[in-house]
Structure 1
């Protein structure tokens, strides 16, 4: 298992390096003067030139890239042009708010998605299967911003049961979690259903049933366990999606996370913060995929020897 982990880490390192490289050079193509944004419109040409020199923007692109890598190794992502604080601190103050919301939404969507998918597979072509299939299509199709506004209208404006913004209490988690979970529940349910269909037709499942093994033991021991690998893939990818894709939800509910920070920074043209947030999102997604690979090795030992 240790050698498998080392192999996956060795694959992950160049991927992260590629992400860093792509993010850096993508921002070189954005029009505008970062030094002017940082200095402000009222700054003199001498001040702008000094800031450009301090930021290393007067150097060739590849030399800037080398300096950028050296700073990243030291944990330095630059400074915010708006607040003047280090970008690392701006991200750190909001990162765990996004992670907590993503974890809660992933747990909720995994539980309901697997349960609904299992029921749908076991009740194939019965009313329960049709109902869950229709709800899954609805969950995948509904726009997140529309669902968020709908929930706010009913639970906050009409019923006055839930707060609309912030993250101060458990009540603040309910509506954002629902909005983020609906799509994931539908997607996980459909994947679980398809995976279970495939496993239920295998010879070893029929053999277990013919031996007189109870149905719940067949499902738990032979079917669900072997159907876990594609489901783990979907759950892991959904967690990565929730980390980087909660921008709309965080904006609607004024959730103090990275998604809202990204939107605010784009509006204010705070390029250093935008660059830092995108880098964190992309790196997090790579690390989530690494975790999925490691979970594969735990669920199916055969993968570790491939």
Structure 2
């Protein structure tokens, strides 16, 4: 087990380096000059002298790999530089200001996903091809097919405009998190319902279920203690990755519901060409996916003894 964890951590290190290199290099592939963007954003006429001063101030007069090494040292201290929009604000400060709202939204969505998809997946497997299973399969099809931005607009129209029981957006009013959290979680609920249902149906045909029934074990005990446990092994990796997907997926939902999180910060940075913020966002999302994948693999190895045998 220790060898497996050590190997996964060692494999994650070069992936993290690749993510940092991509995050740093993508900004330099943008056609517009970051120096001119920084000058125009701060309402400075981009003369040759001003461009030279700003280029030196931003460190863009140095070779690429020198700047990359210097940037790595900065991000190791969680220093992503200064925002182009407001030089009095650091990128790290902007991220720390916006991140709690995103984590709150993603956490609520994750609880909805787990709390809804697992029971409904079990019900669909137990009552296969019955009315409730067919209804849930229709729901899975619709929730998977409809984009979350369109679903969010429909939910606003129904619950905020027509029924007037929930606010349209923001995070100040009571219950403001409900609509964005439901919008963000619907696709994942449909995905994990299907995963759990199919996995349970497969496990229900295994020999250990037949032997358990032969021994006279109650059906609830067979489903809850044996079938469900074995079925969740295949979904743990996907559930672990859904944490990163929920956080990164808030970009669209936060802008629809005016939720003041890191996704809305990223969209604002894209429109304003605030490159340091965009760079930090790309890096954070890449690192988050790698770490969530690592934790999901380790958790799955702890639950599945077959993965602990490392040759």
TM-score by length of 1: 0.95
**Runs of 4 or more above 6 Å deviation:** none
Match of 1:191 among 187, 191, 195: 195
Q: Are the aligned partners of 1:148 and 1:252 in contact in 2 as well (CA < 8 Å)?
A: yes
Partner residue, 1:154: 158
- Of 61, 72, 76 in structure 1, the residue corresponding to residue 75 of structure 2 is 72
- TM superposition shift of 1:3: 4.2
Counterparts in 2 of 1:186-265, with a 5 A limit? 186-265=190-269
Corresponding residue of 2:133:
129
Count of aligned pairs between the two proteins:
306
1-structure distance, mates of 2:168, 2:291: 32
- 1:103 and 2:104 matched: no
Distance 1:192 1:47 in 2: 60
Instruction: Tell me which residue corresponds to 1:57.
Output: 60
Which residue number in structure 2 is paired with residue 45 of structure 1? 48
Q: Distance in 2 between matches of 1:215 and 1:90?
A: 53
Give the deviation of 1:2 after TM superposition: 4.2
Give the equivalent residue in structure 2 for 1:277. Answer: 281
Determine the structure 2 residue equivalent to 1:6: 6
Q: Distance in 2 between matches of 1:230 and 1:30?
A: 40
Q: What CA distance in whole angstroms lies between the structure 1 residues aligned with 2:270 and 2:192?
A: 32
Q: Name the structure 2 match of 1:301.
A: 305
The answer on whether the counterparts of 1:77 and 1:272 sit within 8 Å (CA) in structure 2 is: yes
- Partner Cα separation in structure 2 for residue 197 and residue 159 of structure 1: 39
Aligned residue number for residue 19 of structure 1: 19
- Tell me the C-alpha RMSD between the 2 structures: 1.5
Cα distance in 1 for residues equivalent to 2:97 and 2:16: 23
Deviation at 1:170, TM superposition (A): 4.8
Unpaired segments ≥5 residues, structure 2: none
1:100-120 alpha-carbon deviations (Å, 9 max, x no partner): 211110111112111111111
CA distance in 2, matches of 1:5, 1:266: 38
**What displacement does 1:274 show?**
0.6
Deviation sequence 1:15-61 (CA, Å, 0-9, x none): 11111111111221111111122222533432321121121111222
Q: Residue 169 of structure 1: CA displacement?
A: 4.8
Residue 4 of structure 1 deviates from its aligned partner by 3.6
In the other structure, the counterpart of 2:86 is 83
- Contact 2:167–2:173 (Cα < 8 Å) also in 1: no
What is the Cα deviation at residue 227 of structure 1?
0.8
Q: In the aligned structure 2, how far is the partner of 1:27 from the partner of 1:38?
A: 13
Q: What's the CA shift for 1:193?
A: 0.7
CA distance in 2, matches of 1:42, 1:93: 28
Conserved 8 A contact 1:191-1:234 = no
Quick one: structure 1 residues 201 and 149, their matched pair in 2 at CA, closer, same or farther if it must change by over 3 Å?
A: same
Secondary structure of 1:227's partner?
Answer: helix
Instruction: Give the distance between the partners of 1:224 and 1:118, measured in 2 at CA.
Output: 8
Tell me if the contact between 2:123 and 2:133 (Cα under 8 Å) persists in the aligned partners.
yes
